[in-house]
Structure 1
Amino acid sequence: MQTRRDFIIQTPSIIGLILGINACSFDDKAKKRILLRSSWQTVNIGDIGHTPGVLALLEKYLPDVEVRLWASDVGNGVREMLLNRFPGLEIFTREDEVSLERAYKECDFFLHGSGPYLVVANDVEDWAEKTGKPYGVFGITYNEVNMSPKVNALLTNAEFVLFRDSFSLGYAKEIGVNSKVMSFGPDGAFAADVKNDEAANAFLSSHGLEKGKFMCVIPKYRYTPYWLIPSKNRALDVERDAVNQANKEHDHLQLRKAIIALVEQTEMKVLIVPEDETQVAIGKEMLYDPLPENIKKNVVWRDKYWLTDEALSTYAQSAGIFGNEQHSPIMCIGMGIPAIVCRWEQQTSKGIMWRDIGLGDWLFDMDNEAEVAGIVPAVLAIAQNNEEAKAKALKAKMVVESYQKENLKLLESEIEKLP
């Protein structure tokens, strides 16, 4: 039988429990939630890199906001990689209708992740129509290739739109896109910080590559030959393949010359790496096989595709990177590693971001022979003056981080407006 004394002793605990429950309920109700729409595909470490980059920024600048990831594709080990870095992150795809419906109900803000354009315009439209809740766009490219009246309207009705290169920002303004806030917003992959040191160290050690004593190079055809990737199930694109075949020697000649110059004129070794699955074979065909035999002994061809975490752990130990891709250089600059970008007409305007962050002399237009001639000297300069090159990369990183800080303040202000 409970005595008056027992009741008095137990009352503080009961009150505390009640208050605790109420506080938890209040906190849970007060917590704001962002639905991040990202993770476009897994056959390209750059497309993978968008997501951990944006997640890292949200974690850093909005630590009290819950983030849920609505992904297009997190197969091939990507889900596990993300959860290793962000334990407890809720990840779901369109097939998970229960989680999607719950996210629509419980999340307060829809954030379209970084990408080559407004990748999921239909999802942005669906969110706006079904929920009436606000949305924003983080770090995209926009030009006449992917422009449409529908997308113009979606961008205009966004709380903010961040463009990852100044050309896209100017183009959007020129055609009448008029969001409340439109500004430069660096690609989300700059902030990617996933790592797999164990795998990277094992690979580097087995191939005699020492920290700071090798450079990475990435091959690429003008059009990604998705028809060569079984999971994409695409038919041969005859027109695009013809463009690739017509330009592949021109587009890789200077990279091979740079490899030879590095081996002959410096103590650097060279690691040929892929950014997407197709580039494993391209690296062998266009870079490794044509090299003189005496050069090959100091060159390593990576014969398997990898994930973003192992790539970042590898790049972090290199003296720098060069080649025909963009996102590995983006992630390198995010770590303060020197990075040269070669681009051409068939690529979007995203390469212009190199000028936007102060790296214009590390950007080369492969359709301009006067610029092409500067590739080998630029690569050699990074190898021969590596500390100076790293200082330059760190300066660009600081520029990126200043924009990231401002952009996340912008998102924070939108979250604070929410009821």
Structure 2
Amino acid sequence: MNILGGDVVNQHKREEIDKGRAPRILLRSSWQVVNIGDIAHTPGVLTLLEQYLPNAEVILWASPDLTQEVMDMEHKRFPSLRIIKGSMDSNGQTTSEELADAVSWCDFLLHGSGPYLVANEDVQAFVAATGKPFGVFGITYSGNPVEEDMLNKAEFVYFRDSVSLAKAKEIGIACPVMDFGPDGAFSVDLRDDEKAEQFLQKSGLQEGGYLCCIPKLRFTPYWKIRNSPFNEERHQRNEQMKEHDHVLLREAITAIVRETDMKILLCPEDSTQMEVGKEMIFDKLPEDVRAHVIWREKFWLTDEALSVYVRSTGLFGNEMHSPIMCIGNGIPAVVCRWEEQTSKGYMWRDIGLGDWLFDLDSEVDRSKLVAAVLGMAQHPDKAKRKALAARNYVVQSQMRMVETLQESLRKSAPLEATRKGNSWHQGDL
């Protein structure tokens, strides 16, 4: 099926603008669902649009593996959100009529947060077929030449860490607006308080009386959770480094349990980490410490996880997006990283949390990690103030991102519709 041709689209747009309608945003997001942090990108950006562009209409263009369970969770928070799937090519041929309608309907394509320009091919096809504008919120960029063309053509690109921004400038990306723009997951506010409270009660955890700890291998073993081929090289690297990457977490847990009244919740960000937490942390703890540690053996979704995080005193471990969600909600969080990861971890320096960022491949950083985590447990009020200061910086930065989007919308949608209002209408085709 074909979307409307360029002349028809432009005429359609002029007629609609004359009617004074709201601006229409097609959000390309939702990359995968086996990681609660990857899920969080999308509702985080939706929350930003709801807060700062309340009259905009939004349709979510999701990836094929978005599950009904995750869609139900998103609809609980955004009841009128329209979600579509499908692909298109540069001639405007789409695999679904819903996508064809949405592409012709929208004024602007917004690429959501991610580890890179994840939907590069979709953005290319959209621009080639329609000539409509697009922009990018909160990605990491490593200098991949495949992404250069579309980054150059964007109305704006916000990078979620300063290292990525510096790389784009070094390479000579010519986008007119490039700046630091925090990951959309900072703004996620999904909740399942009922499930969280049931879990805490069953586990003997009291609000404010525990910290969360998340284990992680160097490379996520996707071959265990989806139809991916086994990677012997990555498996061997995981085996080589898993003790090195978890011994300090065990030491921090031991110090917290023995020197404070806090308990520890071992919990997952992706669906492989329950096994890792059991093997590398829980089973290796001294018996007196293990008695104060809860190992969560089942995976969860973003809403329940965040409801547990916000009731904790803080979070630490080898993951990135659970800490992002914590700071976005004013909860202290310590991040550990290593050389195999992208530059995303450096966003902690960008938002004023450099002393809560630890490179596990650095002996200097390793020597400070346990004390930092213990300090978070021993001085929760001080840690809370620090987390809130970082959150405030993120909020101001994300407001600027949406202001830039608003300026771009003014070029392609009526000014009347970008004013603040009391409601948010999503995806009424």
CA–CA distance in 1 between the matches of 2:367 and 2:247?
11
Of 18, 24, 31, 1:33 maps to 24
Does 1:353 pair with 2:347?
A: yes
CA–CA distance in 1 between the matches of 2:239 and 2:18?
59
CA–CA distance in 2 between the matches of 1:51 and 1:280?
24
CA–CA distance in 1 between the matches of 2:265 and 2:252?
12
Alignment match, 2:37: 46
* Cα displacement string for residues 367-393 of structure 1 (whole angstroms, at most 9, x for unaligned residues): 101101111100110110000100000
Alignment match, 2:177: 181
Q: Please show how residues 219-368 of structure 1 align to structure 2 within 5 Å.
A: 219-229=215-225, 232-368=226-362
Alignment match, 1:206: 202
Alignment match, 2:130: 131
Alignment match, 1:161: 157
Quick check: which has more Rg, 1 or 2? 1
Does 1:108 pair with 2:107?
A: yes
What SS class does the counterpart of residue 284 from structure 2 fall into? coil
CA–CA distance in 1 between the matches of 2:410 and 2:50?
16
Shift of 1:120: 1.0
CA–CA distance in 2 between the matches of 1:28 and 1:206?
56
Cα–Cα, structure 1 residues 26 and 136, in superposed 2: closer, same or farther, change >3 Å? closer
* Cα displacement string for residues 113-151 of structure 1 (whole angstroms, at most 9, x for unaligned residues): 00000001000000100110000011000014xx01x41
CA contact (8 A) 1:263 1:295 kept: yes
Q: Please show how residues 63-102 of structure 1 align to structure 2 within 5 Å.
A: 63-72=54-63, 73-75=65-67, 77-94=69-86, 97-102=96-101
What SS class does the counterpart of residue 373 from structure 1 fall into? helix
Per chain length, whose mean CA-contact separation is higher, i.e. which structure has more relative contact order (CA < 8 Å, sep 6+)? 2
What SS class does the counterpart of residue 218 from structure 2 fall into? coil
CA contact (8 A) 1:85 1:194 kept: yes
* Cα displacement string for residues 361-416 of structure 1 (whole angstroms, at most 9, x for unaligned residues): 00000110110111110011011000010000000000000101111111111111
CA–CA distance in 1 between the matches of 2:103 and 2:19?
17
Does 1:377 pair with 2:387?
A: no
Matched residues, number:
390
Of 179, 183, 189, 1:193 maps to 189
The runs of at least 4 consecutive aligned structure 1 residues that moved more than 3 Å come to 25-29
* Cα displacement string for residues 183-238 of structure 1 (whole angstroms, at most 9, x for unaligned residues): 00000000000000000000000111001110000000001110111xx2112100
CA–CA distance in 2 between the matches of 1:136 and 1:198?
37
CA contact (8 A) 1:195 1:310 kept: yes
Shift of 1:26: 8.0
What SS class does the counterpart of residue 374 from structure 1 fall into? helix
Amino acid in the other structure paired with 1:302: R
CA contact (8 A) 1:212 1:318 kept: yes
Cα–Cα, structure 1 residues 184 and 26, in superposed 2: closer, same or farther, change >3 Å? closer
RMSD: 1.2
Name the TM-score, length of structure 2 as normaliser: 0.89
What SS class does the counterpart of residue 267 from structure 1 fall into? coil
Shift of 1:74: 2.2
Name the TM-score, length of structure 1 as normaliser: 0.91
User: Please, which runs of 5 or more residues in structure 1 have no aligned partner?
Assistant: 1-24
What SS class does the counterpart of residue 116 from structure 1 fall into? coil
CA contact (8 A) 1:42 1:76 kept: no
